[in-house]
Amino acid sequence: MTNEFNFDEIVDRSNTYSVKYEALKTLFGRDDITPLWVADMEFRSPKCIRDQLEKYVQAGIYGYAAEPPQMKPVIARWMLQEHGWKVECDWISFIPGIVRGIGLAVNFFTGPGDKVVIQSPVYHPFTNVPQGNGRKVLRNPLKEGKMDLDNLDSLLTAEGPVKMMILCSPHNPGGYLWSREDLVQVAEICHRHGTMVISDEIHSDLCLWGNHNICFASVSNLAAENSITFGAPSKTFNIPGFASSYAIIPNQELAKPFYGWLEANELNCPPIFASLGMITAFTEAKPWRDAALRYIEGNILYLEDKFSAFRAGGVQLVEPVRPQSSYLVWLDCRNLLRRLAGRYNLQPEDQALLEDYFINKVKVGLNSGTMFGPEGLGYMRLNAGCPRSMLKFDLPEVK
Ligand X SMILES: Cc1ncc(COP(=O)(O)O)c(C=O)c1O
The residue among 103 and 337 lying less far from ligand X, judged by its C-beta, is: 103
The residue among 279 and 341 lying less far from ligand X, judged by its C-beta, is: 279
Contact region with ligand X (CB under 6 A), list: 21-29, 53-61, 93-101, 291-299: 93-101
The residue among 335 and 383 lying less far from ligand X, judged by its C-beta, is: 383
93 lies in the site for ligand X, by CB under 6 A: no
Name residues contacting ligand X, limited to 163-182 (CB under 6 A).
168, 172
The residue among 213 and 234 lying less far from ligand X, judged by its C-beta, is: 234
CA distance 277 to 336: 42
Q: Which of 78, 123, 242, 282 binds ligand X (CB under 6 A)?
A: 123
Shortest separation between residue 232's beta carbon and ligand X, angstroms: 5
DSSP E strand boundaries for the chain: 34-35, 92-95, 115-118, 136-139, 164-168, 196-200, 227-231, 245-248, 311-312, 315-316, 319-321, 328-332, 364-365, 367-368, 379-383
Shortest separation between residue 240's beta carbon and ligand X, angstroms: 5
The residue among 71 and 99 lying less far from ligand X, judged by its C-beta, is: 99
CA distance 28 to 21: 11
Here's the x/- map for ligand X, 128-167, by CB under 6 A: it reads as: ----------------------------------------
Name residues contacting ligand X, limited to 183-212 (CB under 6 A).
200, 202
Residue 286 to residues 47, 82, 86, 278, 292, Cα–Cα distance (Å): 12, 10, 19, 12, 10
Shortest separation between residue 178's beta carbon and ligand X, angstroms: 13
Question: Taking the CA of residue 373 as centre, how many other CA atoms within 13 Å lie in the half-sphere pointing to its CB?
Answer: 19
DSSP E strand boundaries for 240-378: 245-248, 311-312, 315-316, 319-321, 328-332, 364-365, 367-368
Could you tell me which residues are beta bridge partners of residue 197? 165, 227
The residue among 185 and 245 lying less far from ligand X, judged by its C-beta, is: 245
Report the interhelical angle of 98-109 vs 125-132 (nearest 10°). 40
The residue among 164 and 340 lying less far from ligand X, judged by its C-beta, is: 164
Shortest separation between residue 243's beta carbon and ligand X, angstroms: 6
234 lies in the site for ligand X, by CB under 6 A: yes
CA dihedral 334, 21, 5, 280 (to 10 degrees): 110
CA distance 149 to 28: 37
Q: Which of 27, 53, 75, 99 binds ligand X (CB under 6 A)?
A: 99
Shortest separation between residue 159's beta carbon and ligand X, angstroms: 24
Shortest separation between residue 139's beta carbon and ligand X, angstroms: 16
CA distance 231 to 87: 13
Phi, psi of 351 (to 5 degrees): -55, -30
Contact region with ligand X (CB under 6 A), list: 96-104, 147-155, 302-310, 317-325: 96-104
Q: Which of 39, 79, 183, 281 binds ligand X (CB under 6 A)?
A: 39
Could you tell me which residues are beta bridge partners of residue 321? 330
240 lies in the site for ligand X, by CB under 6 A: yes
Here's the x/- map for ligand X, 245-284, by CB under 6 A: it reads as: x---------------------------------------
Q: Which of 97, 250, 369, 387 binds ligand X (CB under 6 A)?
A: 97
Contact region with ligand X (CB under 6 A), list: 84-92, 94-102, 133-141, 187-195: 94-102
SS3 (DSSP) at 146 = strand
Report the interhelical angle of 98-109 vs 252-264 (nearest 10°). 110
Residue 229 in contact with residue 216, Cβ under 8 Å? yes
Q: 198: which residues sit within 8 A by CB, 6+ positions away?
A: 102, 105, 164, 165, 166, 167, 227, 228, 230
Shortest separation between residue 351's beta carbon and ligand X, angstroms: 21
Count of residues in contact with ligand X, rule CB under 6 A: 13
Phi, psi of 228 (to 5 degrees): -125, 130
Q: Which of 24, 118, 166, 232 binds ligand X (CB under 6 A)?
A: 232
CA distance 245 to 230: 7
Contact region with ligand X (CB under 6 A), list: 95-103, 135-143, 212-220, 258-266: 95-103
Binding site for ligand X (CB under 6 A): 39, 97-99, 123, 168, 172, 200, 202, 232, 234, 240, 245
